[in-house]
């Protein structure tokens, strides 16, 4: 009796499809993405995409998650050390990453994903998860410098919110110099607030 062995799934196929989808979206809105449009662009069958992702919502989740990982500097570079200077150096590194032209489309896609997630809240949660993740990192960093948890969380969230606003300015206007001037002002104000809070702790 002839036995037909099922082909083992290729573990590299799904990550490759996600990367191809990200490349496809460099100049296209996330909201326009469908199995059919992506299948045509990648020259694959819609069945291939359904097999690997199941639903359009899951396809978008995977794309947004992969983009979010690439739409921020590495945690190794972003995590500050024990000093205030290291903390602010990490913020400057984050901004240097943000203003690189090759990272513009990733940030644009991240903003679009956030707006889509605001509507499809039950199906999409990735952007909120990353927002909470980076807020926790900032909170932990400020607590390590000496702030209490409440103040650390408020300052971390305030900085995160403001940083996103400057990123939006950069994505919308593509004026690096103007956005950098605003970023420098934001960091200077943030530093004054942190130094004032630390002075209260140490008084």
CATH code, residues 13-68: 1.10.10.60
**Residues 39, 101 contacting (CB under 8 angstroms):** no
Q: What is the pTM of this model?
A: 0.79
pLDDT bracket for residue 4 (50, 70, 90):
very low
**Mean pLDDT value across residues 109-135:** 88
**Mean pLDDT value across residues 61-87:** 72
Helices (H), 54-202: 56-70, 75-78, 84-98, 104-119, 126-145, 149-173, 176-202
Q: What was the pLDDT predicted at 72?
A: 58
**Who wins on pLDDT, 120 or 192?**
192
Residue 7 predicted with pLDDT over 90: no
**Mean pLDDT value across residues 106-116:** 89
**Mean pLDDT value across residues 23-50:** 91
Residue 65 predicted with pLDDT over 90: no
∠ CA 131-160-66, nearest 5°, is 35
What is the distance between the terminal CA atoms of the chain, rounded to a whole angstrom? 85
> Considering the chain, what is the average pLDDT of its residues?
87
DSSP 44: -
Q: Where are the domains of the chain?
A: 13-68, 73-202
Q: What is the rounded CA–CA span in Å between residue 64 and residue 54?
A: 16
Q: What was the pLDDT predicted at 30?
A: 87
**Mean pLDDT value across residues 125-137:** 90
Residue 6 predicted with pLDDT over 70: no
């Amino acid at each position: 009796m002839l036995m037909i062995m099922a082909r083992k799934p290729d573990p590299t196929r799904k990550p490759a499809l996600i990367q191809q989808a990200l490349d496809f979206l460099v100049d296209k809105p996330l909201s326009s993405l469908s199995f059919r449009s992506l299948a045509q662009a990648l020259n694959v069958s819609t069945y291939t995409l359904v097999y690997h992702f199941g639903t359009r919502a899951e396809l978008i989740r995977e794309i947004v998650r992969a983009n979010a990982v690439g739409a921020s500097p590495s945690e190794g570079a972003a995590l500050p050390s024990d000093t205030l200077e290291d903390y602010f150096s990490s913020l400057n590194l984050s901004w240097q990453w943000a203003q690189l032209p090759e990272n513009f489309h990733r940030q644009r896609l991240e903003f679009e994903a956030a707006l889509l997630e605001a509507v499809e809240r039950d199906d999409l949660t990735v952007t909120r998860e990353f927002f909470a993740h980076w807020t926790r990192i900032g909170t932990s960093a400020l607590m390590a410098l000496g702030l209490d948890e409440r103040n650390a969380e408020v300052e971390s969230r305030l900085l995160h919110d403001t940083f996103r606003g400057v990123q939006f300015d950069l994505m919308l206007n593509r004026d690096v110099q103007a956005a950098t001037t605003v970023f420098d002002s934001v960091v200077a104000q943030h530093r004054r607030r942190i130094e004032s809070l630390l002075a209260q702790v140490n008084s």
